[in-house]
C-alpha cells in the first residue's frame, strides 16, 4: 500500500515537473496581422488591462482550466505570480466589474481549434501541441 | 417601499439563479455566469479599555464602520462582524455589447440578511472602454471595490482607520477606459451619481445601536486613475459631493451642526502606492476629506509591509485616523477623534481559491480629552476562512 503511494507520488512529481519544464508559447490566428507581442502586451491581454491589438482587433484571450498545470506554468512564467495570487487579482476585477477574465476552454486542443477558427483568439500552449495553422507571437520558454 | 422590497427580492432570486451557473450557461440567447465569495470569521477581544460606551460593554473594536461591525465584550467569540457570503450573477446577451450584473451580500453583522449591493448594466463601447449604469461601489479607496471579498485582500478585515465611512455605494453612471501609456498600464474611471443611506451602521458606532440616521450624498462626481508598471502601482482619487445627515434617537445629544441636516460640500482626495514583487508586498494609502466651511478635516493613512514564504504571507500594518480641528471655525482642538491600529496578519493559501488567516490588532485611542464617544484601546484576535467560487 505504502509502496504504491510512493510510486504514485513519484509519477505525479515526474509528470508535473516534465509538464512545467516544457516550452510554452502564445499563439494567434495567422490572419490577425500580429507578428510579435512583448511580455507587457501579453500580460495586458491576459490580465484584462488592454485588449486592443495594434491591428485594431479586440483580443479574445483563452484560458486553460483552473486546475491545469499548464495554466499554472503559464502565469508563473509570465508574471511570476502563483495561481492563488492570480485568482485574487481576478476576484478584484470580476467582483468590481472592471474587466472580464479570459474565456475558459477545456483543453489545449480546444484552445488551438478556437485560435484556428477565430481571428481575435489568443491562446497559450505547450510548443509540442501547436500546429502549422497557428502563429507563435510570444515565447515563454521552459522553466 | 413595497415595490422596492419586491424588486429587491426579484434581484436576489435572479442573482441566485445566475450564480448557480459558475461555468457559463446559455439560455435563450443569454449567457449566464455566476461567481461568489465567502468569509467565515471569528474574533475575540483580548483586552483593552473596560468601560460602558454608549450602549456597549467595552473593550470594543470596530472592524467595519460602514456596516457597524463591532467586536465587544458581549460574547467570548463573535462570528458576525466580518462573516459574509456574496453571490454575483451576470447575464450577457450573446454577441452583443450589453450585460447586466447583480451582487447580493449576506452579512453576519446583519444576522445574515441579504442585500443587493451591486446592480448595474454594462455597455462595451470598445475593447477597452465600458459604460455602466446602476448601483455600484464608490471607489474611494484601493480596496473599496472588493471590500467584501476576503480572498482578494491580505487582512481578516480592512484597516478600519482608512476604510471607515458612512457611504460605500452610489447610484449613477461611470465610464471606465483601459490603456497603455508607454511602460504604464492605465485605468481611468469617471463617475457621477448620488446615494441615500438610512440607518447607516457608521452612525450607530458614534450614536448607539438604537440611533437612526438619514445620510444623503448628492451630486457625487469624481474619478480614479490607476497606473501599473511591473511591480509598482499607483492610484489617484478625487470625488466630491454635497452631503447632509440627520441623526435621531442618539444615546447622547447630537450637537454637531453637521448632523442636523445642513448641506456641506466635501472634497475627497486619496492616493495609494503599492509594491508587489514575487516575495515582498507593500501597501500605502493616504486620504484627506476637506469640507470648505466646516470646522474639521479628515485625515487617514495606512502602511503595510509583507513577505511571502511559499503559500504563507506575513503582513504588518499600521493605520491611522485623525480629525483635524479647524480652530478658526470654532472647533475644539481637544474634541477631535483620533486612533491608530497596528496589526499583524498571517495568511495561508489552502489552494488557488481559498485561504485561512489569523490577525492580531492593537488599537490606541488618541482622541482629545473632550472627544466622545471614547471607545478606548482595544486588542483583538480574528481568524478567517475565505473562499471564492
Whether residue B351 and residue A95 make contact (CB cut-off 8 A), yes or no, is no
Nearest to B151 among A49, A80, A88 (CB): A88
What is residue B47's predicted lDDT score, i.e. its pLDDT? 93
The model's pLDDT over B170-217, given as tens digits with 9 standing for 90+, comes to 999 999 999 989 999 999 999 999 999 998 899 999 999 988 889 999
Which conformational region is residue A48 in: left (phi greater than 0), alpha (psi within -120 to 50 degrees), or beta? Answer: left
Q: What is the DSSP string of B326-361?
A: -GGGT--GGG--EEEEEEEEEEEEEETTEEEEEEEE
* B144: nearest Cα among B49, B285, B276: B285
Task: Name the A residues in 22-81 with CB < 8 Å from any B CB.
Answer: 40, 44, 48-52, 58-59, 66-67, 80-81
Class of domain B40-87+121-388: mainly beta
Whether residue B118 and residue A94 make contact (CB cut-off 8 A), yes or no, is no
What is residue B366's predicted lDDT score, i.e. its pLDDT? 95
C-alpha grid cell, residue B123: 455597455
Q: Is the pLDDT of residue B1 over 50?
A: no
CA dihedral A64, A69, A72, A73 (to 10 degrees): -110
What is residue B355's predicted lDDT score, i.e. its pLDDT? 97
Residue position matching grid coordinates 450557461:
B25
Q: What are phi and psi of B302, to 5 degrees?
A: -145, 155
Q: Is the pLDDT of residue A75 over 70?
A: yes
What is the spatial distance between Cα A55 and Cα A40, in angstroms, rounded to a whole number? Answer: 17
What is residue B23's predicted lDDT score, i.e. its pLDDT? 59
What is the spatial distance between Cα B301 and Cα B286, in angstroms, rounded to a whole number? Answer: 4
What is residue A14's predicted lDDT score, i.e. its pLDDT? 42
Contact B311, A85 (CB under 8 A): no
At residue A135 the predicted structure's pLDDT band, cuts being 50, 70 and 90, is very high
What is residue B250's predicted lDDT score, i.e. its pLDDT? 78
Task: Mark out chain B residues that contact chain A at CB-CB < 8 A.
Answer: 23-24, 35, 37, 86, 88, 101, 103, 118, 120, 122, 126-128, 130, 132, 136-137, 145-146, 148-149, 151-152, 176, 178-180, 183, 185, 187, 189, 228, 277-278, 311, 349, 351-353, 355, 388
What is residue B278's predicted lDDT score, i.e. its pLDDT? 83
The model's pLDDT over A21-63, given as tens digits with 9 standing for 90+, comes to 578 999 999 998 899 999 999 999 999 998 888 888 889 999 9
> Architecture of A23-141 per CATH?
3-Layer(aba) Sandwich (3.40)
Q: What value does the mean pLDDT take over residues B48-71?
A: 92
Give residue limits of the domains in chain B.
Answer: 40-87+121-388
Distances (CA, A) of B202 to A77, B118, B164, B332, B343: 44, 19, 8, 23, 22
User: How far from each other are the two terminal CA atoms of chain B, in whole angstroms?
Assistant: 33
Averaged pLDDT score across all residues of chain B:
90
Pick B107 or A20 by higher pLDDT. Answer: B107
What is the spatial distance between Cα B293 and Cα B313, in angstroms, rounded to a whole number? Answer: 45
What is the spatial distance between Cα B42 and Cα B9, in angstroms, rounded to a whole number? Answer: 29
Count of CB atoms within 10 A of residue B382's CB? 24
The model's pLDDT over B37-54, given as tens digits with 9 standing for 90+, comes to 999 999 999 999 999 998
What is residue B65's predicted lDDT score, i.e. its pLDDT? 92
The model's pLDDT over B227-283, given as tens digits with 9 standing for 90+, comes to 999 999 999 999 999 998 888 877 776 656 565 667 889 999 999 999 999 899 999
What is residue A20's predicted lDDT score, i.e. its pLDDT? 57
Give Dmax over CA atoms of chain B in angstroms: 65
What is residue B251's predicted lDDT score, i.e. its pLDDT? 75
Task: Name the A residues in 79-118 with CB < 8 Å from any B CB.
Answer: 80-84, 87-89, 91-92, 94-99, 104
At residue A1 the predicted structure's pLDDT band, cuts being 50, 70 and 90, is very low
Contact B343, B362 (CB under 8 A): yes
What is the spatial distance between Cα B286 and Cα B159, in angstroms, rounded to a whole number? Answer: 12
Could you tell me which residues are beta bridge partners of residue B314?
A: B307, B346
Whether residue A95 and residue B152 make contact (CB cut-off 8 A), yes or no, is yes
B256 Cβ contact partners less than 8 Å away, ≥ 6 residues apart = none
The model's pLDDT over B81-119, given as tens digits with 9 standing for 90+, comes to 999 999 999 998 888 899 999 999 999 887 778 889 999
Residue B254: DSSP 8-state? -
Averaged pLDDT score across all residues of chain A:
84
* A143: nearest Cα among A9, A10, A13, A19: A19
Task: Could you list the beta-strand ranges (E) of B139-279.
Answer: 169-181, 184-198, 212-229, 232-248, 264-276
> For the ranges A6-10, A127-131, B101-105, B295-299, which has the lowest average pLDDT?
A6-10
What is residue B114's predicted lDDT score, i.e. its pLDDT? 86
What is residue A2's predicted lDDT score, i.e. its pLDDT? 47
Q: CA angle, B379 as apex, B376 and B385 as ends, to 5°?
A: 135
What is the spatial distance between Cα A55 and Cα B63, in angstroms, rounded to a whole number? Answer: 49
Which conformational region is residue B159 in: left (phi greater than 0), alpha (psi within -120 to 50 degrees), or beta? Answer: beta
Q: Is the pLDDT of residue B387 over 50?
A: yes
What is the spatial distance between Cα B237 and Cα B241, in angstroms, rounded to a whole number? Answer: 13
What is residue B171's predicted lDDT score, i.e. its pLDDT? 97
How far is A130 from chain B, CA to nearest CA, in Å?
26
Q: What value does the mean pLDDT take over residues B122-133?
A: 94
Residue position matching grid coordinates 496578519:
B345
The model's pLDDT over B326-385, given as tens digits with 9 standing for 90+, comes to 988 888 889 999 999 999 999 999 999 999 999 999 999 999 999 988 899 999 999 999
Whether residue B352 and residue A66 make contact (CB cut-off 8 A), yes or no, is yes
C-alpha grid cell, residue B35: 461567481
Contact B316, B302 (CB under 8 A): no
Nearest to B137 among A49, A87, A96 (CB): A96
Task: Specify the pTM.
Answer: 0.88
What is residue B288's predicted lDDT score, i.e. its pLDDT? 97
Preceding omega of B373 cis (within 30 degrees of 0) = yes
Q: Are strands A24-28 and A135-141 parallel, antiparallel or unpaired?
A: antiparallel
Q: What value does the mean pLDDT take over residues B48-73?
A: 92
Q: Is the pLDDT of residue A141 over 50?
A: yes
Amino acid at each position: 500500500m505504502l509502496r504504491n503511494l510512493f510510486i504514485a507520488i513519484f509519477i505525479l512529481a515526474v509528470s508535473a515537473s516534465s509538464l512545467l519544464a516544457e516550452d510554452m508559447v502564445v499563439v494567434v490566428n495567422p490572419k490577425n496581422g500580429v507578428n510579435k507581442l512583448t511580455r507587457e502586451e501579453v500580460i495586458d491581454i491576459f490580465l484584462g488591462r488592454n485588449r486592443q491589438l495594434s491591428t485594431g482587433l479586440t483580443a479574445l484571450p483563452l484560458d486553460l482550466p483552473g486546475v491545469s498545470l499548464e495554466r499554472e506554468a503559464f502565469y508563473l512564467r509570465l508574471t511570476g505570480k502563483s495561481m492563488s495570487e492570480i485568482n485574487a487579482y481576478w476576484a478584484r476585477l470580476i467582483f468590481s466589474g472592471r474587466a472580464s477574465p479570459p474565456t475558459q476552454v477545456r483543453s489545449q486542443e480546444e484552445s488551438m481549434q478556437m485560435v484556428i477558427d477565430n481571428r481575435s483568439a489568443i491562446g497559450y500552449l505547450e510548443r509540442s501541441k501547436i500546429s502549422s495553422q497557428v502563429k507563435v507571437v510570444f515565447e515563454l520558454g521552459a522553466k | 417601499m413595497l415595490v422596492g422590497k419586491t424588486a429587491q427580492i426579484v434581484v436576489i432570486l435572479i442573482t441566485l439563479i445566475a450564480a448557480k451557473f459558475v461555468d457559463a450557461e446559455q439560455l435563450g440567447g443569454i449567457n449566464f455566469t455566476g461567481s461568489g465569495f465567502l468569509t467565515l470569521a471569528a474574533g475575540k477581544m483580548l483586552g483593552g479599555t473596560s468601560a460602558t460606551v454608549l450602549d456597549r460593554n467595552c473593550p470594543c473594536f470596530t472592524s467595519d464602520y460602514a456596516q457597524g461591525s463591532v467586536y465587544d465584550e458581549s460574547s467570548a467569540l463573535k462570528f458576525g462582524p466580518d462573516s459574509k457570503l456574496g453571490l454575483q450573477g451576470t447575464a450577457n446577451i450573446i454577441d452583443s455589447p450589453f450585460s447586466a450584473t447583480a451582487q447580493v451580500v449576506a452579512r453576519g453583522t446583519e444576522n445574515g440578511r441579504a442585500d443587493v449591493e451591486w446592480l448595474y448594466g454594462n455597455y462595451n463601447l470598445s475593447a477597452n472602454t465600458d459604460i455602466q449604469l446602476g448601483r455600484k461601489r464608490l471607489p474611494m479607496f484601493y480596496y473599496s471595490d472588493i471590500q467584501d471579498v476576503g480572498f482578494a485582500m491580505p487582512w481578516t478585515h480592512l484597516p478600519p482607520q482608512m476604510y471607515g465611512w458612512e457611504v460605500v455605494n452610489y447610484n449613477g453612471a461611470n465610464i471606465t477606459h483601459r490603456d497603455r501609456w508607454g511602460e504604464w498600464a492605465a485605468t481611468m474611471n469617471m463617475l457621477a451619481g448620488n446615494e441615500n443611506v438610512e440607518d447607516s451602521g457608521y452612525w450607530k458606532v458614534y450614536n448607539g445601536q438604537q440611533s437612526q440616521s438619514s445620510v444623503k450624498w448628492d451630486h457625487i462626481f469624481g474619478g480614479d486613475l490607476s497606473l501599473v508598471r511591473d511591480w509598482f502601482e499607483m492610484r489617484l482619487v478625487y470625488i466630491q459631493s454635497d452631503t447632509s445627515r440627520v441623526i435621531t434617537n442618539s444615546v447622547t445629544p447630537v450637537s454637531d451642526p453637521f448632523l442636523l441636516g445642513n448641506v456641506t460640500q466635501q472634497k475627497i482626495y486619496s492616493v495609494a502606492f503599492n509594491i508587489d514583487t514575487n516575495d515582498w508586498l507593500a501597501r500605502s494609502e493616504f486620504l484627506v476629506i476637506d469640507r470648505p466651511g466646516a470646522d474639521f478635516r479628515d485625515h487617514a493613512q495606512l502602511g503595510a509591509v509583507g513577505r511571502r514564504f511559499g503559500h504563507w504571507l506575513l503582513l504588518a500594518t499600521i493605520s491611522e485616523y485623525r480629525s483635524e480641528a479647524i480652530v478658526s471655525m470654532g472647533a475644539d482642538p481637544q474634541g477631535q477623534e483620533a486612533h491608530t491600529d497596528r496589526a499583524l496578519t498571517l495568511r495561508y493559501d489552502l489552494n488557488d481559491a481559498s485561504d485561512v488567516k489569523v490577525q492580531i490588532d492593537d488599537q490606541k485611542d488618541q482622541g482629545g480629552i473632550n472627544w466622545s464617544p471614547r471607545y478606548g484601546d482595544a486588542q483583538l484576535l480574528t481568524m478567517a476562512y475565505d473562499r471564492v467560487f
